[in-house]
Amino acid sequence: MNKEQTQQIVNLLHEDYRDCKVQIIKSKSQFIKWKIVELVKLKSFAFIHRKYIWSHSKEVLSNEVAGSYNSKLKNIQVYQFSMLEDCKDLYTSLVLFHELRHHYQDKYGRLDRHDIEDDCNRFAWKMYDRYYAEIKNILEIN
Ligand SMILES: [Zn+2]
Protein backbone atom coordinates (compact mmCIF):
# COMPACT_ATOMS: atom_id res chain seq x y z
CA MET A 1 0.00 0.00 0.00
CA ASN A 2 1.55 3.30 -1.06
CA LYS A 3 1.00 6.80 0.36
CA GLU A 4 -1.61 7.73 -2.22
CA GLN A 5 -3.63 4.55 -1.63
CA THR A 6 -3.45 5.10 2.14
CA GLN A 7 -4.78 8.65 1.72
CA GLN A 8 -7.57 7.44 -0.58
CA ILE A 9 -8.64 4.87 2.05
CA VAL A 10 -8.55 7.49 4.82
CA ASN A 11 -10.64 9.79 2.59
CA LEU A 12 -13.44 7.20 2.51
CA LEU A 13 -14.17 8.21 6.10
CA HIS A 14 -15.81 11.33 7.54
CA GLU A 15 -13.60 14.44 7.71
CA ASP A 16 -13.21 13.94 11.49
CA TYR A 17 -10.84 11.07 10.63
CA ARG A 18 -8.72 12.83 8.02
CA ASP A 19 -6.48 15.07 10.14
CA CYS A 20 -4.23 12.39 11.59
CA LYS A 21 -0.71 11.64 10.38
CA VAL A 22 -0.50 8.05 9.13
CA GLN A 23 2.62 5.98 8.62
CA ILE A 24 2.56 2.55 7.03
CA ILE A 25 5.70 0.87 8.31
CA LYS A 26 6.91 -1.85 5.97
CA SER A 27 9.99 -3.21 7.73
CA LYS A 28 11.41 -3.62 11.21
CA SER A 29 14.40 -1.47 10.36
CA GLN A 30 12.04 1.32 9.24
CA PHE A 31 10.17 0.90 12.54
CA ILE A 32 13.37 1.25 14.57
CA LYS A 33 14.34 4.35 12.57
CA TRP A 34 10.97 5.99 13.35
CA LYS A 35 11.15 5.05 17.03
CA ILE A 36 14.47 6.86 17.30
CA VAL A 37 12.92 9.95 15.66
CA GLU A 38 10.00 9.68 18.09
CA LEU A 39 12.27 9.33 21.12
CA VAL A 40 14.09 12.50 20.09
CA LYS A 41 10.77 14.35 19.67
CA LEU A 42 9.58 13.09 23.05
CA LYS A 43 12.80 13.84 24.90
CA SER A 44 11.06 16.43 27.04
CA PHE A 45 8.53 13.90 28.29
CA ALA A 46 8.97 11.97 31.49
CA PHE A 47 10.96 8.78 31.77
CA ILE A 48 7.74 6.78 32.07
CA HIS A 49 6.87 7.61 28.45
CA ARG A 50 10.23 6.45 27.23
CA LYS A 51 9.83 3.29 29.27
CA TYR A 52 6.45 2.77 27.60
CA ILE A 53 8.00 3.28 24.16
CA TRP A 54 10.57 0.62 24.97
CA SER A 55 8.01 -2.00 26.06
CA HIS A 56 5.71 -1.12 23.16
CA SER A 57 8.63 -1.46 20.71
CA LYS A 58 9.41 -4.91 22.04
CA GLU A 59 5.79 -5.97 21.40
CA VAL A 60 5.82 -4.52 17.89
CA LEU A 61 9.11 -6.16 16.98
CA SER A 62 7.74 -9.51 18.21
CA ASN A 63 4.82 -9.06 15.75
CA GLU A 64 2.33 -8.85 18.63
CA VAL A 65 0.87 -5.50 17.59
CA ALA A 66 -0.48 -4.57 14.14
CA GLY A 67 -0.85 -0.83 14.70
CA SER A 68 -0.82 1.96 17.23
CA TYR A 69 -2.09 5.47 17.87
CA ASN A 70 0.16 7.94 19.65
CA SER A 71 -1.92 10.57 21.44
CA LYS A 72 1.15 12.71 22.20
CA LEU A 73 2.31 12.91 18.58
CA LYS A 74 -1.21 12.53 17.11
CA ASN A 75 -0.05 9.93 14.66
CA ILE A 76 -0.85 6.40 13.61
CA GLN A 77 1.56 3.67 12.68
CA VAL A 78 0.50 0.45 10.97
CA TYR A 79 3.07 -2.35 11.05
CA GLN A 80 2.81 -4.25 7.78
CA PHE A 81 5.81 -6.43 8.57
CA SER A 82 3.75 -8.21 11.24
CA MET A 83 1.09 -9.30 8.71
CA LEU A 84 0.71 -12.30 6.43
CA GLU A 85 1.80 -11.47 2.88
CA ASP A 86 -1.45 -12.64 1.17
CA CYS A 87 -3.88 -10.27 2.82
CA LYS A 88 -1.47 -7.55 4.00
CA ASP A 89 -3.09 -4.56 2.31
CA LEU A 90 -6.68 -5.48 3.18
CA TYR A 91 -5.68 -6.12 6.78
CA THR A 92 -3.81 -2.80 6.81
CA SER A 93 -7.08 -1.04 5.91
CA LEU A 94 -8.82 -2.69 8.84
CA VAL A 95 -6.03 -1.77 11.27
CA LEU A 96 -6.00 1.76 9.86
CA PHE A 97 -9.72 2.16 10.60
CA HIS A 98 -9.20 0.80 14.13
CA GLU A 99 -6.37 3.26 14.87
CA LEU A 100 -8.20 6.20 13.25
CA ARG A 101 -11.06 5.52 15.64
CA HIS A 102 -8.61 5.93 18.55
CA HIS A 103 -7.71 9.31 17.07
CA TYR A 104 -11.42 10.17 16.98
CA GLN A 105 -11.84 9.04 20.61
CA ASP A 106 -8.87 11.21 21.57
CA LYS A 107 -10.34 14.21 19.74
CA TYR A 108 -13.58 13.92 21.71
CA GLY A 109 -11.96 13.10 25.07
CA ARG A 110 -13.06 9.48 25.13
CA LEU A 111 -9.68 7.73 25.35
CA ASP A 112 -10.13 6.93 29.05
CA ARG A 113 -13.37 5.00 28.59
CA HIS A 114 -13.29 1.28 29.32
CA ASP A 115 -14.80 0.12 26.02
CA ILE A 116 -12.50 1.90 23.57
CA GLU A 117 -11.11 -1.28 22.00
CA ASP A 118 -14.59 -2.72 21.37
CA ASP A 119 -15.62 0.61 19.91
CA CYS A 120 -12.59 0.62 17.58
CA ASN A 121 -13.16 -2.96 16.45
CA ARG A 122 -16.85 -2.33 15.80
CA PHE A 123 -16.06 0.83 13.85
CA ALA A 124 -13.24 -0.81 11.85
CA TRP A 125 -15.38 -3.77 10.74
CA LYS A 126 -18.33 -1.51 9.94
CA MET A 127 -16.21 0.72 7.70
CA TYR A 128 -14.43 -2.28 6.18
CA ASP A 129 -17.77 -3.88 5.22
CA ARG A 130 -19.26 -0.60 4.03
CA TYR A 131 -16.31 0.33 1.78
CA TYR A 132 -15.06 -3.14 0.85
CA ALA A 133 -15.66 -2.63 -2.89
CA GLU A 134 -13.98 0.81 -2.83
CA ILE A 135 -11.02 -0.50 -0.80
CA LYS A 136 -10.48 -3.38 -3.25
CA ASN A 137 -10.67 -0.91 -6.08
CA ILE A 138 -8.09 1.42 -4.48
CA LEU A 139 -5.76 -1.48 -3.74
CA GLU A 140 -6.30 -2.91 -7.24
CA ILE A 141 -7.38 -6.28 -5.83
CA ASN A 142 -9.78 -8.37 -7.95
ZN1 LIG B 1 -6.84 -0.29 19.83
Beta bridge partners of 69: 76
CA of 48 from ligand 1 middle (Å) equals: 20
CA of 67 from ligand 1 middle (Å) equals: 8
CA of 120 from ligand 1 middle (Å) equals: 6
How much is the pTM?
0.91
Residue, of 33 and 36, whose pLDDT is higher: 33
pLDDT at 77 over 80: yes
